[in-house]
Amino acid sequence: MQGVGFRPFIWKLAHRMSLRGYVLNDAKGVLIYVTGEGLDRFEAAISEQAPVLARVDTVESDAYHFDEIPDSFGITTSGAQGAETRVTPDAATCAECAADIRGDNPRRKGYAFTNCTHCGPRLTILRALPYDRAQTSMAAFEMCAECAREYADPADRRFHAQPVACVQCGPRVWLEAGGSELSGDAIALAARRLTEGQIVAIKGLGGFHLACDATNRDAIALLRARKHRPVKPFAAMGVLDHIRRFGMPSSEEAALLQDPAAPIVLISKGTETLPDGLAPGQNSYGWMLPYTPLLHLLMDVVDRPLVMTSGNLSGEPQVIGNDEARDKLSGFADAFLMNDREIMRRLDDSVERLTPQGPMVLRRARGRVPGTLPLPKGFEDATQVVAYGAHLKSAICLLKNGQALLSHHLGDLDEALTWDEFQKADADYADLFDHDPQVFACDLHPDYRSSRRAASRAAGKPLVEVQHHHAHLAACLAENGWARDAGPVAGIILDGLGLGTDNTVWGGEVLLGDYNGFERAAHLAPAPLVGGDAAGREPWRNLLARLDQAGMQDIADEMLSQRPLGLLRQAMASGVNAPLSSSAGRLFDAFAAALGFEGAQSFEGEAAMWLEAYAARAPLSRAYPYSFAQWENGVIDPVPMWDAWLGNRKTDTPPEAMAMRFHAGLAQAFCTPARALVETGQAKAVALSGGCFQNATLLSLCCEQLQDLPLLIHTKTPANDGGLALGQALIAAAAHSG
Ligand code: ZN
Ligand code: ZN
Ligand code: FE
């Protein structure tokens, strides 16, 4: 078990039951020495009544002899080192603190930094371990006598709450515009500007946000123009009433919104909609609840949904410093809602979604890290490993003492500042986890910055270069607790790009294997990536390659008449800047282009999201799947699919139906060989992984087709490259642990 607030909970429970003894944190969790009547009830109550932030994995008990029985029950300071992560994730304002800021106590009424042991900043204020106030950015604020009393009283909700603060002693908030601080109530001033259509930069827990009125079309358009972000959906913040007005949250979605992690949750649009500019072409909005007292107080005044997007220059990491914000965001924001508490760690908002199959993690960050995952059976004694992920959506993973720590989303390593962040995070997590890696893991691609860093840090220690899609498979096994010796599974890996063992680019695979190894049982017929990297940005290039391959040059000529087809066909024929790839992601792009997606994508995954949104609007949820051919050598050939599409195109079939037929066909094409592997006894289960499985329609179709088989899917870690390092780490551990 872990969790701030756990020892006071035990203290109160023991006092209520008149028990004697003491409680302390030890390396593996919380240790309780206790004597008295009703110890069974005490033990049961530990799991049943544990505070919200505590994670109780197991409660184990054993006989103990007290040399001297204590007079009462006490809390002992933790002497032990090496607890797994020793700091918990940041947590959204709890109900009691939310009541405090609207209550009568003048120390907390309207106070934007109210918190207690059940809520508040943690990782984002941590300077160094151990986690106590002196080592956080709250060290700059000396507690007043009242706060100090609360901090020292085990019966108080704020006992040992490191960031405890009140209006007398804690951080303060102000509004800044035109380079100077404005006088008056900062939150009221910011709210007025927002309701007037201005853009306000708000300093939050893990970075700055840019906010504007989500009901104001012009404000959204202004934000898009200033950010040079034409279509990528913005997230919105609202209270539950707003979310129910403009969306249709299920009770499970409402519960996820209210989780202490307070992630952004994708929720279907309702009948009443917000301006189109918020999430153009999407069927859902990304919503989050206010998760700090500051945001609660702001929402109380504006009383309408706000756009909340990260405050950064395009492609760069989110801004965290006050001066940095003034420097970089002044072109975007009309005013700054500032505060004087330093952000020590940059953390984006987490993004999640609920599907009929369970939770889906799209971006893992604030509120979720540094949470750990227990390693599957067989890895209890695994050596310490660090794995560096791939290149896009990078995250690193550390193994130690039977636990995996997957870092927060770090971003795309092309960007110099993100690369800096990546290197800092590497050192930082090593500290947090008290980590001394003996084995290093990275992608098979030698030119990724992450691979080069792994090679240089390994410096003679073992370095395991893991094939990209094998790592996706292992990540899915790991998060599902698939034991090390549980046998091979059939992994359907539908993904963007990853270097294969044959030096072509893979990404639409059925792999048969486990942590120890794999074989490539089936794969999408490869097609050239015309123009190399340009094929990732421009979906029509993939359409050209696939139509030519299907013998439909005339259709390509007609659909792409504006493009330099002669040159590109020459390049394909001679193999110049046209590497072969079995990527399912690029097939999604090709099909999006076939249905009319034009030009270049303005963000990664745009075409695939566009296609998914079309499919989700299909009149029939069970459209007849387009068929793919399956060759004996394991090649899954889309040519018959293109034939059927052409037939539909000639008869003016609605694009929604075609999009759904494509999804269903692709699912069937990969589920068929995976099923065969299970039915012939070669595989024990089917695992679904890779970036395409962030497409809920594709995931549902595959799950439906495989529902009678043991099935493993991602629900705790991202199916895309954000979860890749977990798989790399387990594969490296399997190769180097006895
Ligand atoms: Zn609280
Ligand atoms: Zn105080
Ligand atoms: Fe990938």
Q: What is the pLDDT of residues 440-478, one digit of tens each?
A: 999 999 999 999 999 999 999 999 999 999 999 999 999
User: How far is ligand 3, taken at its centre, from the CA of residue 390, in Å?
Assistant: 8
User: How far is ligand 2, taken at its centre, from the CA of residue 104, in Å?
Assistant: 16
**8 Å CB contact between 13 and 131:** no
Residues 547 and 671 in one domain: yes
Residues 529 and 661 in one domain: yes
pLDDT grade for 54, boundaries at 50, 70 and 90: confident
User: How far is ligand 2, taken at its centre, from the CA of residue 114, in Å?
Assistant: 10
Residues 184 and 296 in one domain: yes
Which of 29, 44, 75 is at the close of a domain? 75
**8 Å CB contact between 476 and 689:** yes
Number of domains in the chain: 4
User: How far is ligand 1, taken at its centre, from the CA of residue 727, in Å?
Assistant: 36
| Cα dist from 121 to 115, 116, 422, 546, 705, whole Å | 8, 10, 22, 50, 43
| pTM of the complete model | 0.92
pLDDT grade for 352, boundaries at 50, 70 and 90: very high
Residues 287 and 415 in one domain: no
User: How far is ligand 1, taken at its centre, from the CA of residue 522, in Å?
Assistant: 52
Which of 128-132, 204-208, 366-370 is predicted least confidently? Answer: 128-132
Q: What is the pLDDT of residues 625-679, one digit of tens each?
A: 999 999 999 999 999 999 999 999 999 999 999 999 999 999 999 999 999 999 9
In a domain, 383, yes or no: yes
User: How far is ligand 1, taken at its centre, from the CA of residue 106, in Å?
Assistant: 16
User: How far is ligand 2, taken at its centre, from the CA of residue 108, in Å?
Assistant: 9
Token match 């069927």: residue? 283
Residue 620 is predicted with a pLDDT of 61
Residue 83 is predicted with a pLDDT of 40
Ligand lying nearest the CA atom of residue 445: 3
Domain with residue 62: its CATH number is 3.30.70.100
Count CA within 13 A, CB hemisphere, residue 124: 27
Residue 82 is predicted with a pLDDT of 40
User: How far is ligand 1, taken at its centre, from the CA of residue 120, in Å?
Assistant: 7
User: How far is ligand 1, taken at its centre, from the CA of residue 701, in Å?
Assistant: 42
Domain with residue 627: its CATH number is 3.30.420.40
pLDDT grade for 78, boundaries at 50, 70 and 90: low
In a domain, 114, yes or no: no
Residues 659 and 702 in one domain: yes
In a domain, 199, yes or no: yes
Q: What is the pLDDT of residues 90-147, one digit of tens each?
A: 999 999 999 999 999 999 999 999 999 999 999 999 998 888 899 999 999 999 999 9
Read off φ and ψ for residue 187, nearest 5 degrees: -70, -40
Which of 72-81, 249-258, 329-338, 484-493 is predicted least confidently? Answer: 72-81
Question: Would you give the distance in Å from CA 509 to the centre of its chain?
Answer: 24
In a domain, 444, yes or no: yes
In a domain, 492, yes or no: no
Residues 687 and 729 in one domain: no
SS3 660: helix
**8 Å CB contact between 128 and 135:** yes
Residues 567 and 612 in one domain: yes
Residues 565 and 476 in one domain: no
User: How far is ligand 2, taken at its centre, from the CA of residue 147, in Å?
Assistant: 4
Ligand lying nearest the CA atom of residue 116: 1
Residues 328 and 438 in one domain: no
User: How far is ligand 1, taken at its centre, from the CA of residue 184, in Å?
Assistant: 27
Residues 440 and 539 in one domain: no
Burial 376-411 (b: 16+ CB within 10 A, else e): bebbeebbbbbbbbbbbbbbbbbbbbbbbbbbbbbb
Q: What is the pLDDT of residues 235-279, one digit of tens each?
A: 999 999 999 999 999 999 999 999 999 999 999 999 899 999 999
Residue 193 is predicted with a pLDDT of 98
Residues 234 and 328 in one domain: yes
Ligand lying nearest the CA atom of residue 95: 1
Q: What is the mean pLDDT of residues 398-416?
A: 95
User: How far is ligand 1, taken at its centre, from the CA of residue 8, in Å?
Assistant: 14
Domain with residue 381: its CATH number is 3.30.420.360
In a domain, 110, yes or no: no
User: How far is ligand 1, taken at its centre, from the CA of residue 13, in Å?
Assistant: 19
User: How far is ligand 2, taken at its centre, from the CA of residue 141, in Å?
Assistant: 9
Residue 477 is predicted with a pLDDT of 98
Ligand lying nearest the CA atom of residue 94: 1
User: How far is ligand 2, taken at its centre, from the CA of residue 295, in Å?
Assistant: 20
User: How far is ligand 2, taken at its centre, from the CA of residue 297, in Å?
Assistant: 19
In a domain, 640, yes or no: yes
User: How far is ligand 2, taken at its centre, from the CA of residue 723, in Å?
Assistant: 41
User: How far is ligand 3, taken at its centre, from the CA of residue 387, in Å?
Assistant: 15
Residues 313 and 459 in one domain: no
pLDDT grade for 57, boundaries at 50, 70 and 90: confident
User: How far is ligand 1, taken at its centre, from the CA of residue 357, in Å?
Assistant: 32
**Structural domain range at position 401:** 371-480+719-735
